[in-house]
Chains A and B, each alone.
Chain A
Amino acid sequence: MSDPGFFQSALVYLTAAVISVPIAKRLGLGSVLGYLAAGVGIGPHVLGLVGGSSSSSEVMHIAESGVVVMLFLIGLELKISALWRMRGTLLGLGGSQMLACGMILGVGAWLWGIELKSALLIGFILALSSTAIVLQTLREKSLHATAGGRHAFATLLFQDIAVIPLLAILPLLASTSASAANDIHSATHLSGAMQGLAICAAIASVVLAGRWLLPFLFSYIANAGLREIFTATALLLVLAIGGLMSLVGLSPALGAFVAGVVLASSPYRHELEGDLEPFKGLLLGLFFISVGASMDLQLILKDPLGITLLLAGFVIIKGSVLAALGKLFNFAPGATPLYTLSMFQGGEFAFVLFSQATTLGILTLDQSARFNAIVALSMALTPLALLAGRNWLKPPTDSDATPHREADAIEHSSPVILAGFGRYGNYVGRLLRSQGFRPVVLETDAEHVELTRRLGFEVHYGDATRLDILHAAGAQHAKLLVIAISDEETIDLLVATARRHFPHLEIVTRATGMDHRLRLIQQGVHHVFHELAGSALDAGTQTLRLLGIPAYPAERAARKFRRWDIESARDLAPIRLQDESAYFAIIRERVANLESLFRSDPTHEGSADAKAWQPPSSPKTPPAQT
């Protein structure tokens, strides 16, 4: 940390991002382009504040963990069942995309003058698209849940799997395999069968740990009550999985994705999401910046025509194949343009694969520099292409809304968020569930979370007063927020947060006492319930019955009292804060009023309700009876 270089580069990266990203967003270009531009700006060819592709490989490494964290988070939103439902698209569409793009781009490279085997390798490398760019851009534009977005997602997932054989094939293509192979991934030293075994073992251990070990670990950490340690655990988990996966030759991002899927049904899901989200954003930003910084402007300036032609050739071929796939797979209207415009670029794995291919002597330095350049440029083109095509992408939103096979791949949030699942909240939750509603339940007591889950409830560990947790719970889509927390200050805090950030949410809240209740009503919360009123009035009703009042009148008395109580609170709320003495005067008056309200003396000039079921007793009976 004492290394001044660290502060310097941190300063450079952060400043570049802070300046360029908001500008890019304001211009409607999206954050990705802003980061890329920032990278070009601080890169070796413009300001020269950070090194070129070789010296920034360190940064690139850290930055890649942004992609890992992102895929972990995506995995968290996908239950295994949802993934299973995607299998058709995943294998069919994903496989066809890799095969078609790889072959056709390969032939293109061959025609361009590269030896056939290497040409095919290049074709398959270029067939990969950029998970980071596509998903970040689609999310930013809220296009990820549309049919086209889902097809893109499935394809990207397949590509992440396809990286494995590509990595394995590389050394086999090397002309001087013996000398160069030692530079390759450690796992490729293993025989094919051994590697397969290692991969299976790694995935199995992630799945098993996710099922049995992690819930235990999380509840242990959560019980310690140390927020930052929980965050650290989350981060450690994701990076460790990434490390383990690259050890066996699997894409770290894919491993993190698997771990995410395994943890998708864990109660800590929302907490993990909330904790990792900022890291994801920053690390992805760093990733995009380093892509920008590694762009070889010199090469581009030296041979602008050659690069442009190569880029055009690549984009046109890949784009046409993608569009053809959309037709072939009979995409919903509107999905094909989105799929094409979002997936035509090269992926981040291309950088890794090209550099390895160069080390192995499969590609010349010049070739790999050119291919790296067109991949980076195609990435930069993506946000622009989506921007240019936005009118084209828009129209068929209706057909996107019609239920599609994989519609719940990205899970839709519940209309109700229930904050607190203790002695109070569990009643609310159970009642809602009895009518088929599945609230997103948030609870901070880790022990409680476990217990309630064992009882078969879907509870999430998370502090509902935190904005990120509310976001993760889907507050922006929910209709109702039920506050069942016991602590007065926490309730107030949550009410304030919810009203500021999610003004559309209707709030139903528990109040700890009369004063609290009046304050909440004054603040404009409509549905405020005294936490003890229900139970106390039940006890009172029962006492009346034991005193000899028949059940029905006792019931009505309690209901009437409750109504009177609610009305009183509503009337008193505006006075409470203004004038203490007026407040108590009104309370006295209302209490006196209460007695007359309930007096059942028929001669009494009270409310008509007090005379309910009063038979005509005087000789002047109602006309009907005389």
Chain B
Amino acid sequence: MRRRILLLHAHPMPHRSRVNRHLVTAAESIAGITIRHLYELYPDYMIDVDAEQKLLLDHDIIVLQHPFFWYSAPALVKEWLDLVLQYGWAYGEGGTALQGKSLLQSVTTGGAAEVYCSAGRNRHTVREFLLPFEQTARLCGMTYLDPFVVHGTGQLQTEADLAPHSQAYCTLLSNLASGIDLPPSP
């Protein structure tokens, strides 16, 4: 059974983006995927909660794609979570709308892979930094998939540098779409 993917892309300055733009362009090739650029839709932060909830209902896999900003997501992603995942709808009493769906976070970091470990400069893994997102998904009854991370974006200058990442991303997305399960994150 094919599963429908909703990709929510959040980048405040898409014209200055290199990595995220490359990734999201590649994702357009996935059949049946729905891509939404949050900063284009809501430059005034006036998120249309009804529209967002309806889209969530219509899809099985939700992808949150964004650059890593101060060990977290750009502000509009937070605003989106705060407004869309309402009590009684996404969680709490009667809040079962997202039950059984999966959340995949796709993150690009300026820092290299080595700095994201307990011995590294940042002292924690990316996965650890994303803990609030993970728990949010869990509370809503969603499966939190192992995040897709591209490290060291400063080093990825050419098309050749970027290509392997977009290939890996596309493979992951099409596997998800055709129902091949990733191992749920540990």
C-alpha spacing A165/B44, complex, angstroms = 69
Contacts known (A615-B16, A621-B110, A625-B115); A550 close to B39, Cβ less than 8 A: yes
Q: Which positions 92-151 of chain B face chain A at CB distance < 8 Å?
A: 109-112, 115, 121-122
Chain A residues touching B, range? 20 to 34
A551 at the interface (CB under 8 A from B): yes
* Nearest opposing residue in chain B for A617, CB measure: B154
A612: B residues at CB distance < 8 A: 12-13
* Nearest opposing residue in chain A for B39, CB measure: A552
A548 at the interface (CB under 8 A from B): yes
A549: B residues at CB distance < 8 A: 15
Q: Are B154 and A625 touching (Cβ within 8 A)? A: yes
Choose from B14, B44, B67 the contact partner of A550 (Cβ within 8 Å). B14
1/0 per residue A607-619: CB within 8 Å of B? 0000011111100
Q: Are A613 and B121 touching (Cβ within 8 A)? A: no
Q: Which positions 1-45 of chain B face chain A at CB distance < 8 Å?
A: 12-16, 39-41, 43-44
C-alpha spacing A291/B55, complex, angstroms = 79
Q: Are A551 and B40 touching (Cβ within 8 A)? A: yes
Q: Are B110 and A615 touching (Cβ within 8 A)? A: yes
Contacts known (A615-B153, A625-B115); A555 close to B43, Cβ less than 8 A: yes
Query: How many pairs of residues, A versus B, come closer than 8 Å at their CB atoms?
Result: 55
A553 at the interface (CB under 8 A from B): yes
Q: Smallest CB–CB gap between B178 and chain A, Å?
A: 32
A624 at the interface (CB under 8 A from B): yes
Q: Are A550 and B111 touching (Cβ within 8 A)? A: no
Q: Smallest CB–CB gap between B47 and chain A, Å?
A: 13
C-alpha spacing A138/B82, complex, angstroms = 55
1/0 per residue A530-554: CB within 8 Å of B? 0000000000000000001111111
Q: Are A554 and B110 touching (Cβ within 8 A)? A: no
Q: Are B15 and A555 touching (Cβ within 8 A)? A: no
Q: Smallest CB–CB gap between B46 and chain A, Å?
A: 10
C-alpha spacing A624/B115, complex, angstroms = 9
Contacts known (A625-B111, A626-B115, A626-B121); A550 close to B15, Cβ less than 8 A: yes
Q: Smallest CB–CB gap between B92 and chain A, Å?
A: 28
Q: Are A554 and B43 touching (Cβ within 8 A)? A: yes
B115: A residues at CB distance < 8 A: 625-626
C-alpha spacing A276/B110, complex, angstroms = 76
Q: Are A625 and B110 touching (Cβ within 8 A)? A: yes
Q: Are B13 and A548 touching (Cβ within 8 A)? A: no
Q: Are A624 and B43 touching (Cβ within 8 A)? A: no
Choose from A550, A552, A616 the contact partner of B110 (Cβ within 8 Å). A616
A616: B residues at CB distance < 8 A: 110, 154
Q: Are A613 and B13 touching (Cβ within 8 A)? A: yes
Q: Count chain B CB atoms within 10 A of each CB in A549, A553, A554, A621 and give the residue with the most.
A: A553
Q: Count chain A CB atoms within 10 A of each CB in B15, B71, B121, B154 and give the residue with the most.
A: B154
* Nearest opposing residue in chain A for B17, CB measure: A615
A625: B residues at CB distance < 8 A: 109-112, 115, 154
Q: Are B43 and A621 touching (Cβ within 8 A)? A: no
* Nearest opposing residue in chain A for B74, CB measure: A613
A551: B residues at CB distance < 8 A: 39-41, 43
C-alpha spacing A624/B122, complex, angstroms = 7
C-alpha spacing A3/B152, complex, angstroms = 105
Contacts known (A615-B110, A617-B154, A624-B111); A552 close to B43, Cβ less than 8 A: yes
- Give the A-binding residues of B (Cβ under 8 A): 12-16, 39-41, 43-44, 67, 71, 109-112, 115, 121-122, 153-154
- Give the B-binding residues of A (Cβ under 8 A): 548-556, 612-617, 621, 623-626
Pick the 3 closest A-B CB pairs, nearest first.
Answer: A555-B43, A551-B43, A625-B110
**Given contact pairs A554-B43, A624-B122, A625-B154, a sample of 19 additional A-B residue pairs in the complex whose CB atoms are under 8 Å apart:** A548-B15, A550-B13, A550-B40, A550-B43, A551-B41, A552-B13, A552-B43, A553-B12, A555-B44, A613-B12, A613-B13, A615-B16, A615-B110, A615-B154, A625-B109, A625-B111, A625-B115, A626-B111, A626-B115
* Complex A-B: 18 CB contacts under 8 Å: A548-B15, A550-B43, A554-B43, A555-B43, A555-B44, A612-B12, A612-B13, A613-B13, A615-B110, A621-B110, A621-B154, A623-B121, A624-B71, A624-B110, A625-B109, A625-B110, A625-B115, A626-B121
